[in-house]
Amino acid sequence: MTKDVTTWFGTAHEAAASARRTSTDLLQRVEHRLRSFLSAEREVWADVDERAVVTIDALSELMASGGKRIRPAFCITGYLAAGGDPDDSGVVAAAAALEMLHISALVHDDVLDDSSRRRGLPTVHAKHTALHHSRGWQGESRRFGEGVAILVGDLALVYSGELMSRAPATAVPEWNKLRSEVMIGQYMDIAAAAEFSVDPRLSRWIALIKSGRYTIHRPLVVGASAAGRGELAPAFEEYGEAVGEAFQLRDDLLDAFGDSADTGKPAGLDFSQHKMTLLLGWAMQRDERIHSLITEPGHTPDEVRRRLVDTGVPDDVEKHIAGLVERGCKAIADAPIDQVWRNELTDMARRVAYRNA
Amino acid sequence: MTKDVTTWFGTAHEAAASARRTSTDLLQRVEHRLRSFLSAEREVWADVDERAVVTIDALSELMASGGKRIRPAFCITGYLAAGGDPDDSGVVAAAAALEMLHISALVHDDVLDDSSRRRGLPTVHAKHTALHHSRGWQGESRRFGEGVAILVGDLALVYSGELMSRAPATAVPEWNKLRSEVMIGQYMDIAAAAEFSVDPRLSRWIALIKSGRYTIHRPLVVGASAAGRGELAPAFEEYGEAVGEAFQLRDDLLDAFGDSADTGKPAGLDFSQHKMTLLLGWAMQRDERIHSLITEPGHTPDEVRRRLVDTGVPDDVEKHIAGLVERGCKAIADAPIDQVWRNELTDMARRVAYRNA
């Protein structure tokens, strides 16, 4: 407090740096919690049989291979913005639980999408399918590899619940909503892709649930409720849904036009998996030939990309992203939180909307 | 209390009937909790989109199609034996959580095993694979069907955690052990089957974890800890591991020799999936040709069955089951619980060891 000096700019700068230090410190504790949790589990199981640790090691590898920790960051920001005590370990547990849940979702998602690589490494099911094949084991290699991924994802889901059992009980209702919502949202996503439904309302709703709520809105509210301030939920909802839509639109653009060296996954996955993204939904409304470019064999991703650019939709998506960021920032401009956290949330909105991976 | 009259037999009879009524009543409340939980979720989602309730309905159908509710029964018995208040709703939440977790395990297991039927109905993945195929949807039918089953199982896993969040906090550590253990045990099971490992120590350990602990020992301890009496754990562990092994051996015998009209699933699944059950492990130690009967194509389940009978192993397994039931009952003979609950647990041991489905 004695450091708050002279000018408003000086003070604000000091306060911003201090806020950033506090959240960085908490995020490091989340990282430490995740690692120490997994290594304690490994120690318990290593004595039993060498096979037993395979599932745990799969989670540790994925955890160590990268990831932006967006959900823990929003959870901790929501907590600190709500005035939560930075020395309490409850929010660390909640943020670690969110990241572990996300690891589970990634492992299962990669089976749903049959993705071969994630964060620059083979996906869990791809790795174990190949292992089964090379060892000449009994049964079908694909069923084995996907079975391992199902169980590894289940284990992460269970561990996320275990981590959450150390978080404040006030955060649990929002956590429960987040979890069931993401599963149902995922189902709707694969159902819409299978039907290749061209229903912009549905696409938008799926994006809202899978990104806005799961990635931003609910992690913020989990944090705020861990601090006992559930009343911040409406402001965080409005912010999270807008910034989450921007996050998802950036995801769509990165999938279509991004560099797979940055993203760590193959480009154009949404095309090959017939994901009805907002980008594709809008583009098809303007040019219906894009539908057949995607569903009929013999067309390259480059053809889809060129046609997308011709529709002008990518530029419109950029403009829409800018509007969403603005809307998100406006939503927290009047929230009863300290100015330093409004600034931090504004900064975070820009970082998720304009990321390159 | 005023009803405890005249003879020892009369009193015991009265007390036994009353204990049975109390646990039956609690099990009915568990049933009601499961149904009302799912129907409340359905109501929330029905407004969103007709697709959203598909995952919830899959769980309700499986729940309604049968099941022995063994884990809730042991949880409630552990709770009442520990002197828990039958009017408290915490144990109902814990028992419902155990059943929901089991539903999740069944849905994912059926993908791992590629089982087509469960409880007389098509399995979740088989149903949705067929639906995808008949509608001529985009993508691969198998990936879609299995993807739906992954998400339906994930949803049940998440719901089990949500149900458990209403149970006493004292029950949570045992619940956490049970959940992670069953996932790792499942992985070891598919890994051992893929390697077709003939290691009786490993087979026994997998059976211990997958059946003894998951089905009997830990549900009993979840119940006892919900009543605040974790000190009963050692007696329940010894009982649960013995009776659980008997449960698993009966499972092996039913799979090999049972009537699929009773069990609701095809007979001989363990053979075709190369599950190294205790029954098969023992039989192969006596007659190594059984190994090739199972792994080499062109042999019928009947050939395996005949050869198994010739080894005399099924009779030995029956004797071993009888010994395990006796050992389990001895383990609770000295436990600090009321005689009426010792009798009830003895009765339950016989029911699980000598069931026909």
Alpha-carbon distance of A178 to A2, in angstroms, equals 41
Chain A to chain B, count of Cβ pairs less than 8 Å apart? 167
* Band (A7; pLDDT cuts 50, 70, 90): very low
Which residues from chain A sit within 8 angstroms of residue B55, using beta carbons? Answer: 183-184, 187
Alpha-carbon distance of B69 to B27, in angstroms, equals 9
Cross-chain Cβ contact A139/B41 below 8 Å: no
Number of alpha carbons in the 13 Å side-chain half-sphere of residue B296 = 9
Cross-chain Cβ contact A161/B179 below 8 Å: yes
Considering only the beta carbons, identify the residue of A49, A138, A196 that sits closest to B193.
Answer: A138
As given in the structure block, the two tokens for residue A206 are 């799926």
Quote the minimal CA–CA distance from B175 to chain A in Å.
9
Residue of A49, A164, A198, A209 to mutate when probing chain B, most B C-beta within 10 A: A49
Cross-chain Cβ contact B153/A150 below 8 Å: yes
Q: Does A200 touch chain B (CB under 8 A)?
A: no
Low-confidence ranges of chain B (pLDDT < 50): 1-9
Cross-chain Cβ contact A194/B132 below 8 Å: yes
Cβ atoms of residues B107 and B124 within 8 Å: yes
Cross-chain Cβ contact B183/A51 below 8 Å: no
Tell me which chain A residue has its CA closest to the CA of residue B139.
Answer: A194
What is the overall mean pLDDT for chain A? Answer: 91
As given in the structure block, the two tokens for residue A67 are 């990831």
pLDDT value of position B5: 39
pLDDT value of position B3: 43
Which residues from chain B sit within 8 angstroms of residue A150, using beta carbons? Answer: 108, 111-112, 150, 153
Quote the minimal CA–CA distance from B137 to chain A in Å.
5
- Sorted by sequence, the CB contacts under 8 Å of residue A332 that are 6+ apart come out as A235, A236, A239, A342, A345, A346
Residue of B138, B163, B199 to mutate when probing chain A, most A C-beta within 10 A: B138
The H-assigned helical ranges of B218-338 are: 218-226, 233-257, 260-263, 269-272, 278-286, 289-295, 301-311, 313-333
Cross-chain Cβ contact A111/B179 below 8 Å: no
List all residues of chain A from 298 to 327 with a beta carbon under 8 Å from chain B. none
pLDDT at A147 over 90: yes
Cross-chain Cβ contact B194/A132 below 8 Å: yes
Give the percent of chain A with pLDDT over 90: 69
Residue of B181, B186, B187 to mutate when probing chain A, most A C-beta within 10 A: B187
For residue range B170-199, list pLDDT tens digits in order: 999 999 999 999 999 999 999 999 998 778
For residue range A77-114, list pLDDT tens digits in order: 999 999 999 999 999 999 999 999 999 999 999 999 99
Q: Which of residues A167 and B299 earns the better pLDDT score?
A: A167
Cross-chain Cβ contact B147/A190 below 8 Å: yes
Which residues from chain A sit within 8 angstroms of residue B213, using beta carbons? Answer: none
Please spell the DSSP secondary structure of A87-150, one letter per residue.
T-SHHHHHHHHHHHHHHHHHHHHHHHHT--EETTEE-HHHHHHHHHHHHT-SS-HHHHHHHHHH
Cross-chain Cβ contact A139/B186 below 8 Å: no
Rounded to whole angstroms, the maximal C-alpha distance in chain B is: 74
List all residues of chain A from 206 to 265 with a beta carbon under 8 Å from chain B. none
As given in the structure block, the two tokens for residue B286 are 């006596």
Tell me which chain B residue has its CA closest to the CA of residue A113.
Answer: B143
Residue of B134, B183, B222, B296 to mutate when probing chain A, most A C-beta within 10 A: B183
* Band (A12; pLDDT cuts 50, 70, 90): low
Residue of A154, A177, A208 to mutate when probing chain B, most B C-beta within 10 A: A154
Q: Which of residues B241 and A13 earns the better pLDDT score?
A: B241
pLDDT value of position B12: 65
Quote the minimal CA–CA distance from B114 to chain A in Å.
8
Considering only the beta carbons, identify the residue of A162, A183, A194 that sits closest to B137.
Answer: A194
Look at A41-55, A126-140, A279-293 and tell me which has the smallest mean pLDDT. A279-293
In terms of C-beta density within 10 A (0-12 exposed, 13-18 middle, 19 or more buried), how is residue B247 classed? buried
List all residues of chain A from 122 to 181 with a beta carbon under 8 Å from chain B. 132, 135, 137-139, 143-144, 146-148, 150-155, 157-159, 161-162, 164-165, 172, 176, 179-180
Cross-chain Cβ contact B139/A274 below 8 Å: yes
Cross-chain Cβ contact B190/A165 below 8 Å: no
Cross-chain Cβ contact B190/A51 below 8 Å: no
For residue range A213-251, list pLDDT tens digits in order: 999 999 999 999 999 999 999 999 999 999 999 998 998
Q: Does B52 touch chain A (CB under 8 A)?
A: yes
Cβ atoms of residues B308 and B298 within 8 Å: no
Q: Which long-range contacts (CB under 8 A, 24 or more apart) does B279-285 make?
A: B279/B249, B279/B252, B279/B253, B279/B308, B279/B313, B279/B314, B279/B317, B280/B252, B280/B308, B281/B198, B281/B199, B281/B200, B281/B203, B282/B200, B282/B313, B282/B316, B282/B317, B283/B307, B283/B308, B283/B311, B283/B313, B284/B198, B285/B198, B285/B200
- Sorted by sequence, the CB contacts under 8 Å of residue A313 that are 6+ apart come out as A279, A282, A283, A286
DSSP, collapsed to helix, strand or coil, labels residue B121 as strand
pLDDT value of position B6: 46
Alpha-carbon distance of A51 to A328, in angstroms, equals 47
For residue range A260-296, list pLDDT tens digits in order: 777 777 777 777 777 778 788 888 888 888 888 888 8
Q: Does B115 touch chain A (CB under 8 A)?
A: no
Alpha-carbon distance of B33 to B163, in angstroms, equals 9
For residue range A178-201, list pLDDT tens digits in order: 999 999 999 999 999 999 877 878
Compute how many other C-beta atoms are within 10 angstroms of the C-beta atom of residue A137.
Answer: 17
List all residues of chain B from 88 to 107 with a beta carbon under 8 Å from chain A. 104
Cross-chain Cβ contact A186/B148 below 8 Å: no
Cross-chain Cβ contact B192/A51 below 8 Å: yes
Alpha-carbon distance of A86 to B222, in angstroms, equals 33
pLDDT at A4 over 60: no
Cross-chain Cβ contact A147/B112 below 8 Å: yes
pLDDT at A2 over 80: no
Alpha-carbon distance of A196 to B148, in angstroms, equals 16
pLDDT value of position A3: 43
Quote the minimal CA–CA distance from B301 to chain A in Å.
17
Considering only the beta carbons, identify the residue of A41, A161, A188 that sits closest to B52.
Answer: A188
Residue of A144, A163, A164, A184 to mutate when probing chain B, most B C-beta within 10 A: A184
Which residues from chain B sit within 8 angstroms of residue A295, using beta carbons? Answer: 138
Which residues from chain A sit within 8 angstroms of residue B214, using beta carbons? Answer: none
Alpha-carbon distance of A275 to A193, in angstroms, equals 5
Tell me which chain A residue has its CA closest to the CA of residue B57.
Answer: A184
